[in-house]
Amino acid sequence: MLHRETLALPVSSTVPLNPDGRVPPITISLKAGDKLAPDWHLASFPRTEFSTQLLRNPSDTREQFAAIVTAPTNRRFPRVIMNRLWHRYLGWAIVEPIDDWGSAGEVDSRLLDWLERDFVMAGYDLKHAARSIFLSQVYQSAALNQKEIASAKRSKQLANGPARRRLSAEQLIDSLFAMSGKAMDLEPMSLDPEGRRPPEQFLHLGFPTRAWQLASTSTDRDRPALMLPALQQVSDVMMSFGWRDSRPTPLSVRDESASPLQSLILGNGLASTRIARLSDDSLFTELAWFATAPGELVENLTLTVLGRTPTEEERMAFEALLSPGFSSRRLHRSPTLNPVASHKRNAVSWANHLVPEATRIKLLLEQEILRGDTPTQWLESDWRDRMADEIWSLMNSPEFLFVP
C-alpha cells in the first residue's frame, strides 16, 4: 500500500510443505512469486465515501490510505490518538485497554468527543493536542495514587488528576543526561548483517543522542571485537526499567514492576556513576565553580535534579556536607568550562571479529569506558567527591524516579 508497487511474494513469506509431513493448520492461498497488487480491501471504508478533492492523485494507494485515516468521517483515528496521548501524559486512559477498544466497557465519552473535535479542527496537530491537555485543570491537579485511580474506574468515573507513576526507561536516561549537561557520546548504532559488507554498506542507525534512538545491542555481542561498551551501559539501565530493545516489538503498556535490579543499577551502575561524577563537561562542575555560597549551591543542585527547592532538613544536611572546604574548593585553573571532546568510537565490523588486533583495541576501549569520565581538576578532590555524593543521593531518591 505505501510502496505503491506490485510486489512478488518472497519465499521467506511462504509455508514450506513436505508431502510426507503433517498438514499445516492454515490454508495456503499464495505461492512464492505470486504478484500482489497495492489494492485496498477494507469494505468498511468504501472509496466512494471520499471526495476526489481530498486526493491529488485518486489512483495513488498511499493517498487513499492517508485519506482513509484522516477523513472527517473516520472518527476512530483521532479518538484513538487522543486516548493514547491522554494515557501517555496522565498515566490513565479514557478508554482501556488502549490497544483493544472492542473489549472496553462502557465509558463516559464526552471528554473524548471534545478532544477528538479539538484535534481535528487544529489540523491533526499533535503539539496543539499536547498543549490542550497540559493546560487542562485535570492535568494540573494534584497527582493521584493507584488506589484512587482504581476507585474511579470501579465507579465508572474519570479520575480528577494525573496518576503518580514512575519515569519510563527513556525518560529516566534522558533526564540523567539533561540534568548533568553531558552528551551521551555513544558508539554508532551500526551492524553488518552478512558479515562481509564493507563499512560504507553497514546498516547504520546513527549516533544516538536521545534514548528513543537506541536499539538492541545483543546480536553476537559476546565476541569482544563487536562489543559496544558505552552504549551497553545505557541500554542496561533501560532494560531494567522495562525498555523493549527490539524496535519491531513495541508495547503500548509495559511491565513496570519494581525490582531490586532497578535500585541496584541506578545506585551502582556505570551510567549513574558517570552522571554523578564532576568532569570537565558536567553542568554540576559549572554550578560548583560559580556558586557564591554553600546554600546557593545546594538550592541549585536540588532544583536541577528534583525540580524543586530543598526542604529545610535537606538544606541543613547538604550545607553541612559542602561547607567544609567550600572557600578553597577552586584550584588555579581557568574558570571557562569547555566540554570534553567526543571520544572516537570505532564502527563495528562483523568481518574483523576473529582478528586479534581488533579484539585488543576493543578491550582497551572497554577498559576506558569502565573507568568512566575523568574527574575535573578544577575542584579540590575531597570536596569534589563530597559534592558527587550529594548528586548521587538526590539522583537515587524515590522522588527522582516518579512523575509528577
What's the pLDDT tens digit per position in 147-171?
999 898 888 888 999 999 999 999 9
Is residue 1 situated within a structural domain? no
The confidence band for 311, taking pLDDT boundaries of 50, 70 and 90, is: very high
Reference 167, options 243, 221, 250; nearest CA is 243
Residue 305 has pLDDT above 90, yes or no: yes
151 and 187 share one domain: no
Same domain, 120 and 194: no
Shortest CA distance to 273 belongs to which of 374, 151, 145?
Answer: 374
Give the end of a domain, one of 163, 196, 216. Answer: 163
Cα(49)–Cα(39) distance, rounded to whole angstroms? 16
Measured torsion, CA atoms of residues 329, 335, 341, 342, in degrees rounded to the nearest 10:
60
The overall average pLDDT reported for the chain is 84
Q: Collapsing DSSP states into helix, strand and coil, what is residue 64? A: helix
DSSP assigned state of 168: P
Q: pLDDT tens for residues 115-137?
A: 999 999 998 999 999 999 999 99
- Regarding whether 317 and 230 lie in a shared domain, the answer is yes
The C-alpha atoms of residue 31 and residue 14 are separated, in whole angstroms, by: 7
As a whole number of angstroms, the distance between CA 367 and CA 359 comes to 12
Cβ atoms of 158 and 108 closer than 8 Å? yes
pLDDT, tens digit (0-9, with 9 covering 90-100), for 347-361:
556 666 778 888 888
Residue 228 lies in a domain: yes
Q: Give me the residue label for grid cell 553542568.
A: 283
Q: What is the reported pLDDT for 15?
A: 76
Same domain, 208 and 274: yes
Exposure class string for 181-212: b at 16+ Cβ within 10 A, else e = bbebbbbbbbbbeeeeeeeeebeeeebbeebe
| Domain count across the chain | 3
pLDDT exceeds 50 at position 48: no
Which domain, by its residues, includes 43?
7-70
Residue with cell 576473529: 354
Mean pLDDT of 10-24: 78
| Lowest mean pLDDT, pick from 188-192, 213-217, 392-396 | 188-192
Single pTM value for the model: 0.80
Q: Per-residue pLDDT for 23 more than 70?
A: yes
Q: Do 389 and 313 lie in a common domain?
A: yes
The residue assigned the cell 561547607 is: 323
- Please say which residue of 163, 185, 219 terminates a domain: 163
Is residue 52 within 8 A of residue 58, CB to CB? The reply is yes
H or E element that contains 191? strand 190-191
Q: Alpha carbon of 287 to those of 141, 296, 312, 316, 395: distances in Å?
A: 32, 9, 21, 19, 16
Residues 16, 38 within the same domain: yes
Peptide bond into 72 cis (omega under 30): no
Which of 163, 195, 229 finishes a domain? 163
E strands in 265-323: none
Distance (Å, rounded) from C-alpha 171 to C-alpha 400? Answer: 11
Q: Which of 68, 5, 14 is nearest to 41 (CA)?
A: 68
Is the pLDDT score of 50 beyond 80?
no
155 and 220: one domain? Answer: no
Output 20 or 81, whichever has higher pLDDT: 81
Domain check: are 111 and 222 in the same one?
no
Quick one: pLDDT band at residue 345, thresholds 50, 70, 90?
low
124 and 52 assigned to the same domain: no
Phi, psi of 403 (to 5 degrees): -135, 140
The answer as to whether 44 is a domain residue is yes
Distance (Å, rounded) from C-alpha 300 to C-alpha 380? 20
Mean pLDDT, residues 196-221 taken together: 74
User: Do 157 and 57 have their domain in common?
Assistant: no
| 227 and 141 share one domain | no
Same domain assignment for residues 346 and 205: yes
Whether 2 maps to a domain, the answer reads no
Residues 6+ apart with CB under 8 A from 277: 372, 373, 375, 388
Q: How many alpha carbons lie under 13 Å from residue 229 in its C-beta half-sphere?
A: 21
Give per-residue pLDDT as tens, 222-261.
Answer: 677 778 888 888 989 999 998 887 766 677 888 878 899 9
Judging by beta carbons within 10 Å of its beta carbon (0-12, 13-18, 19+), is residue 222 exposed, middle or buried?
exposed
The distance from CA 243 to its chain's CA centroid, rounded to whole angstroms, is: 8
Helix (H) or strand (E) holding 77: helix 76-90
- Highest mean pLDDT among 3-12, 249-258, 287-296, 366-375 belongs to 287-296
Among 231, 180, 239, which Cα is nearest to 207's?
231
Residue 277 lies in a domain: yes
Q: State which of 18-27, 31-40, 52-61, 169-178 shows the largest mean pLDDT.
A: 169-178
Terminus-to-terminus CA distance in the chain, angstroms?
Answer: 41
